[in-house]
Structure 1
Amino acid sequence: MASTLSAVWEDLADLSVCNGCDGCGLRCTTDVPMTRAEWSRIRGYVDQNPGVRSSRPRSIDVGDEIEVSVCEFRDTTAGRCRIYPVRPLVCRMMGHVPWMPCPIDRVRVIPATATAKAMLEAYCGEPRRTYAEWDALDARRR
């Protein structure tokens, strides 16, 4: 279901305005919940692209001695998402919904709130865990 929702979202939202932009980057925090299908796609992508995972620091200083824990797939040096093509739906929605607006007002047209809300409600109806939690569950099953 999540892959279907992501595909529908790609059709609804104009993601072209995001090409080359990193305005949402500081919002890429650790422990993003995802569905098992999303984890599976990310896991496959990571397996095919060994450089995606790195030992870079998982926190950054945003000033005034405030540190933020960042997503393990966030390349803080290049300012990019290392799993962008397979990122979870909640990451795809970032900047394109009223409750997570584009921080630099680059996104001018957003899908109807009712549509986005219905999609998110369907998404939230599925079991979601963090990448590490899905990994741990998968390891126990082996």
Structure 2
Amino acid sequence: MKKLYLKNINQAIKIAQNNVYFDRLSKIYDTLPTGRCFGCTKCCMESVHTHFIEFLNIFHYLRENRQLYEKIFPQIIQYYFLEMVKKEHCPFLDEEGRCTIYEVRPLVCRMFGHLTEKEYEESYKNVLHQNIEIMKVFKNKYKIMLPENVVNYKIDYCRNFEVDKQMTKDQRQTLIDQMFTMESAFFMRGLITEDFIDTGLVSWFVYTVFDIEEAGDLRVKIMKEYLESGYSESLEEIMKKIKVCF
């Protein structure tokens, strides 16, 4: 299975509700020490890794807020197709830079500021290495040269975020392990497969409309068009026809 069909999402949400997974997810989130963010949104510049249980929680939240979902869904689609050629803020931000899903934002967003500067720099090195490898693939396989400002982009370590008590690496890993424990229930039932491992928040929503391979092929086509002219006719056609999956 390489697409998130609505019937499977609904079944997964029902399983999550029957097994109080959403409540367990909230308790995991509540484990993080409180902090104070000044809302500069400098860290909100990428589609963060999101566990399936978190996607279900966010999807359920947006379905309950349909007007919001219909408003931001086009932004999500556009962000996905241009993510690797145009650096933009997270599509879940509103016009004033506020997170529209703040109540149900993913664990990765919540843990920002809990890393030491040394840990943060090591994490960036890993991200940069991955970006360079991706750049090589696009160059060799698709003849696409990714912009250097996208490949090398770095979110600076935040010194303004005030946290009451910084979490240790082991404490953060414990929370991630708890996520995987819940996630295994959906793998066992075939509601998601290994194709969806390490999926970003934006991609989860894209895969409710497109098959993984179809989305990938379209992204290559759109990237080429955009890099050649700063505009993509294919993307414009998609934006005219795209519909929110409820």
TM-score (norm 2): 0.42
Larger Rg: 2
Alpha-carbon shift at residue 31 of structure 1 (Å): 2.3
- Equivalenced residue count is 129
**Paired position in structure 1 for 2:11:** none
**Cα separation, 1, equivalents of 2:62 and 2:107:** 17
Correspondences of 1:112-127 after superposition (within 5 Å): 112-120=168-176, 123=179, 127=197
Distance 1:138 1:5, change over 3 A: same
Is the partner of 2:42 in helix, strand or coil?
A: helix
**Paired position in structure 2 for 1:81:** 99
1:134 to 204, 211, 222: 204
1:45 to 57, 61, 71: 61
**Paired position in structure 1 for 2:46:** 30
Q: Percent identity?
A: 25
After superposition, the CA RMSD in angstroms is 3.5
**Paired position in structure 1 for 2:87:** 68
**Paired position in structure 2 for 1:8:** 28
Does 2:159 correspond to 1:110? no
Distance 1:112 1:131, change over 3 A: closer
Higher strand content, 1 or 2: 1
Q: Deviations over 1:15-64 (max 9, x none)?
A: 4x34xx314x1111232221111111111211222225436696xxxxxx
Distance 1:12 1:133, change over 3 A: closer
Stretch moving more, 28-37 or 88-97: 28-37
Unaligned runs of 5+ in 2: 1-15, 80-85, 121-156, 184-196, 212-244
Unaligned runs of 5+ in 1: 59-66
**Cα separation, 2, equivalents of 1:68 and 1:124:** 30
Q: Which amino acid aligns with 1:113?
A: K
1:91 to 103, 109, 114: 109
Alpha-carbon shift at residue 5 of structure 1 (Å): 5.5
Alpha-carbon shift at residue 80 of structure 1 (Å): 1.3
Distance 1:138 1:13, change over 3 A: same
